[in-house]
Structure 1
Amino acid sequence: MSYETIHFTKKDGVGLITLNRPNVYNAINYQLGHELTQIFEQIKEDSEVRAVVLTGEGKSFCSGQDLNDRTALAQAGEEIRLGDSVRSRYNPLITAMHELHKPLIAAVNGVAAGAGCSLALACDMRFITPKTRFVEAFVRIGLVPDSGSSYFLPRLVGLGRALEIAMTGRDIDAEEAISIGLANRLVSDEHLLEETMAFAKQLAQGPTMAIGLTKQLLYKGMEASLEDVLEAEAVSQEQAGKSSDFLEGIQAFAQKRPPQFRGK
């Protein structure tokens, strides 16, 4: 399948998605949102892809919603129904990212603002550079956080800090992002993609079935009762225990050799 607003490559078990509208700082128009949803649905079924990296072409990760879409509707005299837009365009995308049973890492080059910030937060981890800025910019134009920001942000930084960030819409620089847990690793500009891909490759070579189950469990653990989480752990452990990776893991341990996991 060919795409116009994103690039997709895969190597060593890692799928690399690059937002490709650098002339508008990778702002999300209808086509970009649609193609992103498509590629995540494609990756879900692709056994060759065992980890995923999401980044942006050029100087920015993603500047958020392309407001030219909204301007065109207004100039045409059409009613702007943002709720319908969020439901049809962003919600399926964020759901596809969140439900992906593979590790998903954002290599956040430059600015991640508005829905672009939400995209980064919807990833499992974020690698950043000194030039990275996160901006919950919705309030700057009289809107509320969407595309999952109100779900992911308080889980990453805590409710009080999330309220302050979302209500002010202020920039979060790289140093603060690391200190408050919004980002995982700070690397140099020139090595961002290289280091993110190397980390993703490391995960891709691991027991990715167990990693996918772990991802589900930890998100569930943020909101479910202890009783429910304990049962979910038992169910997931049953699944993991029937995998070829578990058999390989214990055989490799007994034979004192590195395991060769297949993600199955």
Structure 2
Amino acid sequence: MNYETLTYDLTDGVALITLNRPDVMNALTTQMRAEIEVAVTHVGKTARVVVLTGAGRAFCSGQDLGDRANAANLDLERTLRDEYTPMLNAIVDCPVPTIAAVNGAAAGAGANLALACDVVIASEKAYFLQAFTRIGLIPDAGGTYVMPRTMGMAKAMGAALFADKITARQADDWGMIWEAVADDGFDAHWRARATHLANGPTKAYAAAKRVIRGSWANDFEGQLAAEAAEQGDCGQSRDFREGVLAFVEKRKPDFEGR
């Protein structure tokens, strides 16, 4: 597929998807949402890790309020159901780890696009902003689901109601993201993290994703059963055998994701 709103590169198992509308801070349009869904679905079949980042000074500024595809017949329920939900599900259900490398502003739906990824690594110059109440809306794109589960009810409620900027360092301290990284080392850092995952036991990563995300719907007994089932499957994998052998032989394991 020829992408018009993003760029795509696959190198050494790392699929890099870059939102590429820097003139409007990578604001989301109907076309961009469709392209993100297609790109993530496609690369999830061949890559070992997927990285989502933004071109220019922003990660993503959220919905493009000037998007002509939606301007003529603005129906936010339809847009969320038919355009945002498939895109976000593609990210959440991706069979390999997903990283949001947040290089700058992540606002509105752009913030929640990042939070849909498995791991969020942010530059210290970045910030997160649930800007919705500034225009009379509520947080969407999964924000009301993810935020209470990562940063707690009090912080999630304040972020939604006050629509204050949350710095990358605050987001890190609150448990909203995995880590905030110094600006000058940001690019090298997230690339090293992505390479680490690309060289890892991706079959086990996929199982871990399923169990951790599924835990929100389980009681303790149900979660123990889910762990046992997934662990039993991982225990039959080539990567488990290789990992044990590498440990015994005191060498680095050669994982293949199977």
After TM superposition, the score normalised by the length of structure 1 is 0.93
Match of 1:55, as an amino acid? T
1:33–1:93 CA contact under 8 A, matched in 2: yes
Identity percentage of aligned residues? 43
Match in the other structure for 1:51: 49
Gap change, CA 1:140 and 1:147, over 3 Å in 2: same
* Letter matched to residue 152 of structure 2: G
- The reply to whether residue 28 of structure 1 matches residue 28 of structure 2 is yes
C-alpha distance in structure 2 between counterparts of 1:180 and 1:34, whole Å: 32
Instruction: Kindly state the Cα deviation for residue 79 of structure 1 after the two structures are TM-superposed.
Output: 3.8
For residues 50-100 of structure 1, what are the alpha-carbon distances to aligned partners after superposition, in whole Å with 9 as ceiling and x for unaligned? Answer: 111110000000000000026x755xxx44211011001100111111111
Q: Which residue does the alignment assign to 2:58?
A: 60
Q: For residues 65-84 of structure 1, what are the structure 2 equivalents within 5 Å?
A: 65-69=63-67, 74=71, 78-84=72-78
TM-score (norm 2): 0.96
Assess if the C-alpha contact under 8 Å between 2:44 and 2:50 holds in 1: no
AA of the residue aligned to 2:107: A
Amino acid paired to 1:100: C
After superposition, the Cα gap between the structure-2 partners of 1:202 and 1:73, relative to the gap in structure 1 and judged at 3 Å, is closer
Match of 1:250 in 2: 244
Q: Tell me if structure 1 keeps the 8 A contact 2:30–2:70.
A: no
Following TM superposition, by how much is the alpha carbon of 1:215 offset from its aligned partner in structure 2, in angstroms? 1.3
Rounded Cα–Cα distance in structure 1 between residues aligned with 2:97 and 2:28:
23
After superposing the two structures, state which structure 1 stretch, 215-224 or 140-149, moved more. Answer: 215-224
> Number of aligned pairs?
258
The root-mean-square deviation of aligned C-alpha atoms, in Å, is 1.4
- Residues 32 and 73 of structure 1, relative CA distance in 2, 3 Å threshold: closer
Shift of 1:108: 0.6
Task: Give a deviation string over 1:172-213, Cα, whole Å, max 9, x none.
Answer: 112211211122222232332221011111011111110111
Query: Residue 197 of structure 1 corresponds to which residue in structure 2?
Result: 191
Aligned to 2:181: 187
Which of these residues, 152, 155, 162, is aligned with residue 149 of structure 2? 155
In structure 2, the partner of 1:125 is 119
The change in CA–CA distance for 1:73 and 1:16 in structure 2 (over 3 A counts) is closer
Does residue 102 in structure 1 map to residue 100 in structure 2?
no
Gaps of 5+ in 2: none
